[in-house]
């Protein structure tokens, strides 16, 4: 009887603590975001790369979003199709004047006819990361935001985990020029799938400051928002960013700098952000693009520990998760 009581308490306790963990995952001290899925191992943004990253148990899996001609958000890194698919062979007549092929000129059904490859240079036709998944091998397809959410929510159900999504609104101005309001379409889908507030395991990101502010103020989203930052000059507006966003997402070039002796050190950016209540999730940690670092471990040490980042976007979630778990 006593044993049963203890067991019941233990189960109750477990349930309570896992509930608490569910509500605080976004505020967790070090979060790992699978950048375009497990893109270090499989072609970026394919469902295979997402399923593989899921099995590594990151905190979040990222989705970059561009609308199709029929207004379906496609999970793809750029407005272009020609550097990750065989579009130039399947629809040679559909390029624009600059010779490039745009997601927005194709319906979802047309996009389904394309094969997805490892990212490649459109001029040299060579893979950007030659050490990764073999170029043009196996079979991968494009998919919608809805299909990816259903994969992640399905795995959350079947495995009992609670991994979040980290969607990015791509080029809102480009979409507007093509007559489409991508944010309204994406917010509706997120809402339909239960992502509505800061505790819903969804972080919405965008490089466009005006658009992210609009998402908070005019479109009244209560989601956790990350303002992506491409250029150091954008940091001048950090006080304004804190009014509508919960985190900033700078590139690692803004987090790390080299001092006069050539030693890598970190900038004041993270501290500055923390002082006004913003978390910092930096991109992109790649073990095959080390920049000034000698090892990936050194890069993680400098980022997570020395610079005190709250989260990192990485193509190699398994390595970063092992690193985080090994730290006290
Ligand atoms: Ca992205």
Average pLDDT score, the chain: 92
Return the minimum-mean-pLDDT range out of 66-75, 118-127, 146-155, 230-239: 230-239
Count: domains in the chain: 1
> How many angstroms does the Cα of residue 328 sit away from the middle of ligand 1?
30
Q: Which of 77, 143, 175, 281 is catalytic?
A: 77
Asked, for residue 273, whether it belongs to a domain, the answer is yes
Helix axes of 182-192 and 209-217: crossing angle, nearest 10 degrees: 50
> How many angstroms does the Cα of residue 311 sit away from the middle of ligand 1?
14
The answer to whether the bond into 69 is cis (omega within 30° of 0) is no
Per DSSP, the residues of 223-286 read: SEEEEEE-SGGGGGGHHHHHHH-SEEEEBHHHHEEE-TTS-EEE-SHHHHHHHTT-EEEEEEEB
> How many angstroms does the Cα of residue 240 sit away from the middle of ligand 1?
22
Instruction: Count CB atoms within 10 A of the CB of residue 77.
Output: 19
Q: Is the pLDDT of residue 208 over 60?
A: yes
CA 325 from chain center: how many Å? Answer: 21
> How many angstroms does the Cα of residue 34 sit away from the middle of ligand 1?
10
Q: Is the pLDDT of residue 44 over 80?
A: yes
Asked, for residue 10, whether it belongs to a domain, the answer is no
In angstroms, the CA 186 to CA 212 distance is 13
User: What is the predicted pLDDT for the residue at 259?
Assistant: 81
The CATH number linked to 48 is 3.20.20.190
> How many angstroms does the Cα of residue 249 sit away from the middle of ligand 1?
10
Return the minimum-mean-pLDDT range out of 24-38, 104-118, 132-146: 24-38
User: What is the predicted pLDDT for the residue at 237?
Assistant: 87
User: What is the predicted pLDDT for the residue at 267?
Assistant: 86
> How many angstroms does the Cα of residue 272 sit away from the middle of ligand 1?
23
Asked, for residue 9, whether it belongs to a domain, the answer is no
Structure-derived torsion over alpha carbons of residues 247, 310, 229, 192, reported in degrees to the nearest 10: -50
User: What is the predicted pLDDT for the residue at 9?
Assistant: 44
Helix segments in the chain, DSSP class H: 2-24, 47-55, 87-90, 108-111, 145-159, 172-177, 182-192, 209-217, 238-244, 252-255, 269-275, 296-300, 317-326
Asked, for residue 62, whether it belongs to a domain, the answer is yes
Sign of CA dihedral 68, 182, 281, 62: negative
Asked, for residue 11, whether it belongs to a domain, the answer is no
User: What is the predicted pLDDT for the residue at 84?
Assistant: 98
Comparing 29 with 273, the larger pLDDT belongs to 273
Asked, for residue 8, whether it belongs to a domain, the answer is no
Domain of 272? 31-326
User: What is the predicted pLDDT for the residue at 25?
Assistant: 62
> How many angstroms does the Cα of residue 108 sit away from the middle of ligand 1?
21
Comparing 275 with 291, the larger pLDDT belongs to 275
> How many angstroms does the Cα of residue 23 sit away from the middle of ligand 1?
24
Instruction: Count CB atoms within 10 A of the CB of residue 75.
Output: 26
Encode pLDDT of 292-308 as tens digits: 899 999 999 999 999 99
Asked, for residue 269, whether it belongs to a domain, the answer is yes
77 counts as catalytic: yes
Strands 73-75 and 224-229: unpaired
* Residues comprising the chain, all counted: 328
> How many angstroms does the Cα of residue 101 sit away from the middle of ligand 1?
20
Q: Is the pLDDT of residue 80 over 70?
A: yes
Asked, for residue 189, whether it belongs to a domain, the answer is yes
CB 170 within 8 A of CB 78: yes
Return the minimum-mean-pLDDT range out of 10-19, 47-56, 183-192, 196-205: 10-19
Comparing 241 with 263, the larger pLDDT belongs to 241
Encode pLDDT of 5-29 as tens digits: 444 444 444 444 444 444 456 667 8
Q: Which of 35, 45, 175, 281 is catalytic?
A: 35
191 strand-pairing partners: none
> How many angstroms does the Cα of residue 276 sit away from the middle of ligand 1?
24
């Amino acid at each position: 009887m006593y044993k049963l009581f203890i067991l019941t308490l233990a189960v109750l306790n477990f349930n309570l603590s896992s509930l608490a963990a569910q509500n605080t995952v976004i505020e967790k001290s070090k979060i790992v975001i699978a950048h375009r899925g497990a893109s270090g191992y499989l072609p970026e943004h394919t469902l295979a790369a997402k399923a593989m990253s899921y099995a590594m148990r990151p905190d979040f899996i990222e989705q970059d979003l561009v609308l199709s001609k029929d207004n379906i958000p496609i999970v793809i890194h750029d407005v272009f199709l020609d550097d990750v698919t065989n579009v130039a062979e399947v629809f040679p007549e559909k390029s624009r004047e600059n010779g490039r092929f745009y997601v927005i000129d194709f319906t979802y059904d047309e996009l389904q006819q394309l094969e997805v490859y490892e990212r490649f240079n459109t001029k040299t036709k060579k893979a950007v990361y030659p050490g990764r998944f073999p170029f043009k091998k196996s079979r991968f397809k494009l998919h919608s935001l809805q299909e990816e959410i259903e994969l992640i929510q399905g795995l959350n159900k079947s495995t009992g985990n609670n991994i979040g999504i980290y969607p990015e609104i791509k080029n809102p101005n480009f979409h507007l020029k093509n007559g489409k309001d991508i944010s309204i379409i994406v917010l509706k889908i997120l809402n339909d799938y239960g992502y509505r507030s800061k505790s819903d395991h969804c972080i919405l990101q965008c490089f466009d400051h005006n658009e992210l502010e609009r998402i908070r103020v005019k479109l009244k989203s209560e989601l956790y928002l990350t303002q992506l930052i491409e250029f150091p000059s954008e940091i001048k507006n950090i006080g304004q960013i804190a009014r509508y966003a919960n985190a900033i997402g700078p590139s690692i070039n803004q987090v790390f700098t080299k001092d006069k002796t050539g030693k890598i050190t970190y900038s004041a950016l993270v501290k500055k952000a923390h002082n006004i209540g913003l978390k910092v999730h930096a991109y992109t940690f790649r073990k095959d693009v080390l920049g000034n670092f000698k090892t990936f471990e050194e890069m993680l040490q400098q980022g997570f520990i020395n610079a005190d980042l709250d989260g990192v976007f990485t193509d190699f979630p398994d390595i970063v998760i092992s690193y985080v778990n090994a730290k006290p």
